[in-house]
A and B are shown apart, each in its own frame.
Chain A
Amino acid sequence: MNKEFDALLRNGTWTLIPSPPTANIIGSKWVYRIKRKADGGIERFKARLVAKGFHQQEGVDFLETFSPVVKPTTIRMVLSVAISHGWHLHQIDVQNAFLHGFLNEDVYMAQTPGFLHPKYP
């Protein structure tokens, strides 16, 4: 949990400010998961800070949403073309993908539960 919090600070995810009187403030919470190895043993405990997106208001702190999901047909087709030409097929995985995106909207979030800075309530 401390690690995840430090990562968010290093990432420059937010700056602490005094409360603007009219802002729509969204909450957040920690979600804990146990990552297991293939044999069922515990690999590590994972903590992820998650915003309460249901506090958000369209047009105020979010404008458009879109979730890119590739069609199975496209995957099968690309694999088929690759196999037919004897190409290389490589896979990569982006870590903490959603933490890298930049926000175009003004989004205000209450301070992280368990990590309160007394100067900026």
Chain B
Amino acid sequence: MCKLHKSIYGLRQAPRAWFSLLTDKLQAIGFKGSQVDNSLYVYQHGSILLYFLIYVDDIILAGADLNFINHVISLLQSNFPIKNLGELSFFLSVEAIRSDEGLYLSQHRYILDLLRSKMDKSRPSITPMSTSQILNKSDGALFHDPYLYRSIVGGLQYLSFTRLELAFVIHKVSKYMHDLKELYWVAVKRILRYLKETISHALLIQPDHLLQLQTVIGAD
């Protein structure tokens, strides 16, 4: 029998053991955990500022000083094997493309995979939702493949990373996972048809020289 000293995949505590090892190393280097997000670590000493974003084993470093970025990477490399992927280009299935205007974030490849399964012959649509069809009807035919529905809608939810305009419709079709009607599937297919039309749309992050916090208040 084996007595385990180190973690392996599948153990309940594996993610936690990895995260605490990594953040111990970061703290030893001088990083501090952010108050707003557990996965963000910040190094700030003198004129050097470096952000360190952790998504399990995918990591983004953001800072002005390239030498310091490389220094931090080599310090970590003395502890565990790290592949230096260079300039940010593809992470969490999001493509990052630099241009003169700023940084484009695109889930083009992700959408392609999502569409590949079902929508080869469908007609593209320029809007993601019907304005006349009400979705909360309890009558109508049952949809025959709940597994497919949940899998596609689950896949759509991750699109809200860059496709902020889809938040509303994806919320709508996510409300009916338990009692599926043919009508809801039509609504999901409409979103997929819209994605087919707009597959090349990306989120543009532009430089803003006034990085100020602004509050917007709404009242009824």
Contact = CB atoms under 8 A, between A and B. Distances in A.
Question: Do chains A and B stick together as partners?
Answer: yes
Contacts of B79: 100
A92 B85 contact: yes
Interface in B1-40: 1-22, 36-40
A118 interface: no
Contacts of B83: 92-95
B13 to A, nearest CB: 5
Given A16-B1, A28-B10, A62-B12, A75 B21 contact: no
B53 A78 contact: yes
Among B54, B60, B105, B203, the most chain A Cβ lie within 10 Å of the Cβ of: B60
Interface string B76-101: 10011111111111010000100000
Interface in B58-90: 58-66, 69, 73, 76, 79-89
Interface residues of B, number: 70
Contacts, number: 253
Interface in A47-90: 48-53, 56, 62-72, 74-76, 78-90
* Chain B at the A interface: SS class: mixed
Interface residues of A, number: 70
Contacts of B211: 81, 84
A18 B1 CA distance: 6
A9 to B, nearest CB: 11
B8 A8 contact: yes
Contacts of A62: 11-13
Interface of B: 1-22, 36-40, 51, 53-66, 69, 73, 76, 79-89, 91, 96, 102-103, 105, 160-161, 203, 205-209, 211
28 contacts: A18-B1, A50-B10, A52-B10, A62-B12, A65-B12, A67-B16, A68-B15, A68-B56, A69-B55, A70-B54, A71-B37, A74-B39, A79-B96, A81-B51, A82-B63, A91-B60, A91-B61, A91-B91, A92-B73, A93-B82, A95-B57, A98-B8, A99-B6, A99-B8, A101-B14, A102-B5, A103-B4, A103-B17
Interface of A: 8, 11-19, 23, 25, 28, 48-53, 56, 62-72, 74-76, 78-103, 105-112, 120-121
User: Which 5 pairs from chain A and chain B are nearest by CB?
Assistant: A101-B17, A70-B39, A97-B57, A51-B10, A14-B2
Given A14-B2, A74-B53, A89-B62, 6 more contacts: A12-B6, A15-B2, A16-B1, A89-B88, A112-B2, A121-B1
